[in-house]
Amino acid sequence: MNDLPRAARIYVVAVLVAAVIGGIAGILLAPPRLDRLPVAIVLLVCATIAQQFKVKSPKHQSYYTTTVFFFAGAVLLHPAYIIAIILAAHAVESLRVRYRWYIQAFNVANFVLCSIAAGAIAGIGQPTEPSSTGGAAFYVALAGLTFVGLNHFLTALVIMWARGVSIARAGTMDWENVGTDLALMSVGALGSLLWLKNPWLVPLCLGPLFLIYRSLLVPSLKEEARTDPKTALANMKHWNQLAQAEVERARRFGRPLSVVLADFDLLRDVNNRYGHLMGDQMIRRVADAIRASLREYDVPARFGGDEFAVLMPETTLPEAMAVAERIRREVESIVLKSGEGSVPASVSIGVALFPAHGRTASDLLAAADRAVYQAKALGRNRVWAFAEREDENMRPIIVTAPSRREAS
């Protein structure tokens, strides 16, 4: 936990201590519900299985359908049962995925506190007769709002102190994130009320739960379809779609637009000398360097094996050249070690401007590609803007290399 800022360490410890105190208090003060042991076993099995099916969104947020079972347990069960369910679900996940210990401990403590609070509120409206569930609905809904709100607020605070960002930028309080857990909570609430009314109706909740899980997968599947798997940049099919739309917008409103093409120098050299695994690692590092050098609205993509395209809306040629030079410097600073020493890294970059160098996305890409070869002819590891013809200063430079190597 030493890698966390001091404020984040204090906060994590405080949440862990609060969860221990709250758990003990809940176990001692809550009325016994030994008759619901079968329900606890079913929820434990379901939550443990659901915890293994994490859905990661394109915004790098993680969703678990275990909220359904944790909340249902908080409403129906004694705190000792729900604590055991939370611990079991996360323990099994830890056998498969190795998180830092304090991350998993915080997640457990977070859910324990939320469950204890939600269970206390729901317990106020527990019906004395199995058939009288009307009065319980309000308290179950209030418990659900408390469960989701407290869970997201506690998570937002740890992100804020750990990453040094505001709560608004933490992402956990976004409506998309909160709304998903509210939907999951509502399924858990419905299952709880159905159990109090007629346990045989509970399986009807599986349909909505399945649909929610499938809907969570849709953005990830769409992202996979338009992302290069090796670099996590856009693939060219997606890039071309965006480029065509941006070119049309630039044409309609008379706005600047630039296209940058970066070609990794002598990738075949790296593969032949250090191996293809090192070449793949270098490609990923170059992609990271490009991503780190761009503005929020620039669109990078992997164009080919060792080429990367960048779409730059609202960007003049001097601005694009400045960004391209930043990319070149970032790539040049990459340090990868092998048994033979450091592996060199550099890119030759070509820049094309709409409409001077092309009036369509494909024309701009072709112009940027020609500028790349002009940059390579001048000695590689440099940025060059598209030129219609070579002048006296554009005579190719002959770069000698051992015969076994082949320039890219």
pLDDT in tens, 4-21: 888 889 999 999 999 999
Which range has the worst mean pLDDT, 117-131, 162-176, 294-308, 377-391? 117-131
Task: Reply yes or no on whether the pLDDT at 332 is more than 50.
Answer: yes
The string of pLDDT tens digits covering residues 245-260 is 999 999 999 999 999 9
One-letter identity of residue 217? L
Q: Where in the chain is the domain with CATH 3.30.70.270?
A: 236-394
Beta bridge partners of 338: 341
pLDDT of residue 338: 73
φ, ψ of residue 260 in degrees (nearest 5): -120, 135
Pairing of strands 347-354, 383-385: parallel
The answer to whether 325 and 305 are in contact (CB under 8 A) is no
**CATH for 236-394, among 3.30.70.270, 3.40.30.10, 3.40.980.10, 3.40.50.720?**
3.30.70.270
pLDDT for 303:
86
Give the whole-angstrom CA distance, residue 62 versus residue 343.
36
pLDDT at 96 exceeding the cut of 90: no
pLDDT over 50 at 406, yes or no? no
Dihedral angle computed from the Cα positions of residues 204, 210, 215 and 221, in that order, rounded to the nearest 10 degrees: -170
Q: Can you give the pLDDT at residue 290?
A: 92
Predicted pLDDT at 335: 81
Cβ 281 vs Cβ 230: under 8 Å? no
Residue 128: pLDDT band with limits 50, 70, 90: very low
* pLDDT at site 402: 33
User: For the domain 6-225, what is the CATH code?
Assistant: 1.10.1760.20
Flag whether pLDDT at 371 surpasses 50. Answer: yes
pLDDT at 105: 93
Cα 80 to Cα 69: distance, rounded to the nearest angstrom? 15
Provide CATH 1.10.1760.20 ranges for the chain. 6-225
> What local confidence, expressed as pLDDT, does residue 113 receive?
96
Q: What is the pLDDT of residue 309?
A: 94
From the CA atom positions of the chain, what is the Rg in Å?
28
Residue 399 has pLDDT above 50, yes or no: no
Write the DSSP assignment of 65-126 as a string of letters: THHHHHHHHHHHS-HHHHHHHHHHHHHHHHHHS---HHHHHHHHHHHHHHHHHHHHHHHHT-
pLDDT beyond 70 at 307: yes
| Helical axes 37-50 vs 79-96, angle rounded to 10° | 30
pLDDT score at 392: 40
pLDDT value of position 97: 82
- Which residue did the predictor score with more confidence, 167 or 154? 154
Whether 158 shows a pLDDT value over 70: the answer reads yes
In this prediction, residue 295 has a pLDDT band, given cuts at 50, 70 and 90, of confident
- Helical packing angle, 79-96 and 6-29, nearest 10°: 140
Q: Among 286, 287, 290, which residue's Cα sits nearest to residue 298?
A: 290
Q: What percent of the chain has a predicted confidence (pLDDT) above 70?
A: 88
Residue 347 near residue 265 (C-beta atoms within 8 A): yes
Q: Omega into 300 within 30° of 0, i.e. cis?
A: no
Residue with the larger pLDDT of the pair 163 and 290:
290
pLDDT mean across residues, the chain: 84
What is the rounded average pLDDT of the residues 113-118?
A: 94
Alpha helical stretches, state H, 125-233? 134-163, 167-170, 175-197, 206-225
If one counts every other C-beta atom within 10 angstroms of the C-beta of residue 218, the result is 10
Q: Residue 308 pLDDT more than 50?
A: yes
d(Cα 349, Cα 368) in Å, to the nearest integer? 8
Q: What pLDDT, on the 0 to 100 scale, is given for residue 304? A: 78
pLDDT for position 397? 34
More confident residue, 170 or 238: 238
Q: Answer whether 71's CB lies under 8 Å from 147's CB.
A: yes
Please give the pLDDT value at position 390: 53
